[in-house]
Amino acid sequence: MPIEMPRGLPFAVDTWGPSSRRRRHRFLTHAHRDHLVGAGAGADPGGGALYATRLTLSLALRHFPQLDQGEFVEVEVGRTFKVDDPAGAFSVTAYDANHCPGAVMFLFEGEFGSILHTGDCRLTPDCAQNLPLKYIAKKGKENVCRLDFVFLDCTFSKCFLKLPSKELAIQQVIACIWKHPDAPFVYLACDLLGHEEILVEVSRTFGSKIYVDTRRNSDCFKALSLTAPEIITDDPSCRFQIVGFHHLYDNASKKLEGARASLQPEPLFIRPSTQWYACGRNQKPSLTEAQQDDFGIWHVCFSIHSSRDELEQAMQLLQPQWVISTTPPCFAMELSYVKKHCFKTRLTTNDPLWKIFRDPLQKSVTSPSSVLASCTQPDEDLSTFVDDDHPTSASEECTDFDVSTLELQFVPSPPVEEPDITLFGRARFGSQAIDIMKEELCHQYIAAAEQTRFCAPEDLLHDSSKNVETYSAMDLITKQAPASQQDCVEAGDVAPSCQCPTRSICSSTFAYCSTQYISSA
């Protein structure tokens, strides 16, 4: 589920809660349901305008017709437009996100600095090269004009698989079909927005339309009616058929057993996804050809999210000052670029972070410390820290902050020496008790996860975000996330196996995430 944008910004991106409804402008990167949670309830004729591509708006209205009450502004990929705002006008440019039909990244430039919000993306080098040249570093040189912030889709930042390109994965699907010429039916588990490229290529290669059951898979049919209407048919005798993942294994089991019992050729079931690979069911998966599981289903590693390598390459290319994980929480800290360049315990007065914390329409102030004078004092045992390893000259004023208070905190006197707490990482306390607790929680959680088959398939979880609540950082400190969040992951190709236990442990042991620190309360 996407995060709220910092309170100092006049716009929301992919969020629809009470805080977002108070924003003067709203942006939608794409039409996956986890990015539209609360959109129906959030429809407000008097609210800010909604900016999105025409296709995304059309897809969103299929699910949430209430949005039609609001003001829409259609955006075009590659075109920069100006947004007037009481705090100062800013410019916005949309770029292809390489994720699903209609999906874009937004580049915001204004008094608040320069912000790239990727939404969900497959940020390949070619995709990143479409961004403005001034933000792209030349090989071997530091970028002079750096992005202040990148709000980044870090879905696979913990996954070390070298994911094949979408084009190569599609060719694996085609090859798998060619290898099964006797299969009377080919069932494709491609009912999610973002699988259209596979279906279009299958239809083109084999010269056949693809059947979609409008009763059982109405959402898929509606989406394809907008994105690829030329490939779908309502003829159930068609060899190529789309099957929903919710009942994929049951359907496959019944049809395969029936074919074997009657000594007939077996149908072919193909599931293009990264979930099966990222969950670690196969310790040495082949990423160059389709693999069959124990249930008879063939898998192809197809991803509409960036691989870890692609994220690293993109960050080295863009060299932003800050990287913030939009989903899942805490995952940006897994990137080498973030560990090297974005771990800060002290902020200079001209750090761009100040601008997005502060509401520009409130009373102006002369220095960050005066903004923070009224902040609630933190608890004594988690209070302050200082980075003595990075001394600062007198001309470069720095101020200390405690991220656990959800606000930057000015510390006027030298604090008790404690280990650093990084903006993008865990609070690493020296207490042996906490270390023991972390280890114990880890073992308990892994055991529980194995018992309950934590790695739920992505498609099954696609609509699970409907009941997800939004938690602040203090909620994460005082209690674990609800079961619906611990047991579910974002819609899309999210890898929950080894990642989600970390996420739960983080919330149990004061694991902080920048995406929570800077969100609106």
| Distant-in-sequence, close-in-space partners of 202: CB < 8 Å, separation ≥ 6 | 173, 174, 177, 186, 188, 208, 210, 240
Identify the pLDDT of residue 320: 95
HEC assignment per residue over 395-415:
CCCEEECCHHHCCCCCCCCCC
Residues 189, 284 share a domain: yes
List strand residue ranges (DSSP E) for 70-200, in order: 72-74, 80-83, 90-96, 104-110, 113-117, 149-153, 186-188
* 130 vs 148: CA distance, rounded Å: 18
Q: Do residues 117 and 29 make contact, with C-beta atoms less than 8 angstroms apart?
A: yes
Residues 173, 145 share a domain: no
Q: Which among 251, 275, 300 is the end of a domain?
A: 300
Query: Looking at the domain assignment, is residue 185 inside a domain?
Result: yes
Residues 328, 273 share a domain: no
| Distant-in-sequence, close-in-space partners of 98: CB < 8 Å, separation ≥ 6 | 121, 122, 123, 124, 127, 166, 304
Query: Looking at the domain assignment, is residue 99 inside a domain?
Result: yes
Place of tokens 């299929």: 62
pTM for the full predicted model = 0.72
Q: Which among 253, 275, 300 is the end of a domain?
A: 300
Residues 39, 104 share a domain: yes
Residues 254, 201 share a domain: yes
Q: pLDDT > 70: what percent of the chain?
A: 66
Query: Looking at the domain assignment, is residue 400 inside a domain?
Result: no
| CATH number reported for the structural domain that contains residue 291 in this entry | 3.40.50.12650
Identify the pLDDT of residue 65: 84
Residues 117, 247 share a domain: no
Query: Looking at the domain assignment, is residue 293 inside a domain?
Result: yes
Q: Do residues 399 and 415 make contact, with C-beta atoms less than 8 angstroms apart?
A: no
**pLDDT averaged over the chain?**
74
Residues 154, 254 share a domain: no
Identify the pLDDT of residue 345: 63
| Distant-in-sequence, close-in-space partners of 461: CB < 8 Å, separation ≥ 6 | 488, 489, 491, 494
* Per-residue model confidence as pLDDT tens digits over 232-267: 999 999 999 999 988 899 999 999 999 999 999 999
Q: Where are the alpha helices (DSSP H) in 124-165?
A: 125-128
Residues 230, 294 share a domain: yes
Domain that holds residue 249: 166-300
Q: Do residues 342 and 504 make contact, with C-beta atoms less than 8 angstroms apart?
A: no
Q: pLDDT > 90: what percent of the chain?
A: 51
Place of tokens 């100062």: 88
305 pLDDT higher than 60? yes
**In total, how many domains does the chain have?**
2
Query: Looking at the domain assignment, is residue 372 inside a domain?
Result: no
* 114 vs 207: CA distance, rounded Å: 47
Res. 391 pLDDT band, cuts 50 70 90: very low
17 pLDDT higher than 70? yes
Q: Which among 357, 378, 400 is the end of a domain?
A: 357
Q: Give how far Cα 267 sits from Cα of 210, 251, 259, Å.
A: 15, 11, 8
- Residue 6 has which token pair? 């910092």
* 340 vs 317: CA distance, rounded Å: 15
Q: Do residues 316 and 142 make contact, with C-beta atoms less than 8 angstroms apart?
A: no
Query: Looking at the domain assignment, is residue 333 inside a domain?
Result: yes
* Per-residue model confidence as pLDDT tens digits over 126-182: 999 999 999 998 877 777 789 999 999 999 999 989 999 999 999 999 999 999 999
**∠ CA 57-60-64, rounded to 5°:** 130
DSSP tag of 369: H
Q: Give how far Cα 120 sits from Cα of 10, 100, 374, Å.
A: 21, 9, 37
Residues 290, 242 share a domain: yes
* 464 vs 449: CA distance, rounded Å: 18
Query: Looking at the domain assignment, is residue 415 inside a domain?
Result: no
* 118 vs 304: CA distance, rounded Å: 13
Residues 47, 102 share a domain: yes
* Per-residue model confidence as pLDDT tens digits over 85-124: 998 999 999 999 999 999 999 999 999 999 999 999 999 9
* Per-residue model confidence as pLDDT tens digits over 336-389: 999 998 876 667 777 878 878 766 555 444 343 333 333 333 333 323 222 333
Identify the pLDDT of residue 304: 97
| CATH number reported for the structural domain that contains residue 21 in this entry | 3.60.15.10
Identify the pLDDT of residue 71: 83
Among 199-213, 245-259, 470-484, the range scoring the smallest mean pLDDT is 470-484
Identify the pLDDT of residue 69: 66
Residues 154, 33 share a domain: yes
Res. 462 pLDDT band, cuts 50 70 90: very low
What's the full length of the chain, in residues? 521
Query: Looking at the domain assignment, is residue 442 inside a domain?
Result: no
Residues 108, 33 share a domain: yes
